[in-house]
Amino acid sequence: MMDDDISKLIREAKPLYFARKRFRQRMTSALAVLVCVFTFQFLFPNPEVSYNYFSLENEIYLTENGSVIEDMGLPTDEYGLLKVV
C-alpha cells in the first residue's frame, strides 16, 4: 500500500521535475550565450570614431554648394536628392 502512494507521488512529480530540468538547461544556455557575447565585445571592441575636421569642412562645403549625386550623373530632384524614375 505504501508503494502505491510512493509511485503515485513519483508519477505526479515526474513531469514537474523534467519541466524544471528543461527550464534550468535553457537558462544555463542563455546565460552562456550572454557571457560569450559580452566576452567578444570586450575582446574585439568597436574602434573609436575620430573625425578629420578638415575633410569634414570640405564635405560641408560640397554639400552646401552642390549635390554629390548630381555630380555622379544620376537624376536628381530640385533638392539635390536622388530621383526615382
Domains of the chain: total = 2
Query: What is the distance between the alpha carbons of residues 5 and 10, in angstroms, rounded to a whole number?
Result: 9
3 and 13 inside one domain: yes
Query: What does the pLDDT look like over 20-61, one tens digit per residue?
Result: 999 999 999 999 999 999 998 888 877 777 666 666 666 666
Based on the domain organization, do 31 and 63 belong to the same domain? no
Q: Which domain holds residue 72?
A: 51-85
Q: Are residues 67 and 37 in the same domain?
A: no
Confidence (pTM): 0.46
Residues above pLDDT 70, as percent of the chain = 75
Claim to verify: residue 5 and residue 45 sit in the same structural domain: yes
Q: pLDDT > 90: what percent of the chain?
A: 31
How far lies 85's CA from each of 24, 46, 75, 81, in Å? 56, 38, 8, 12
37 and 64 share one domain: no
The more confident residue out of 59 and 71 is 71
Say which residue, 8 or 73, is predicted with more confidence: 8
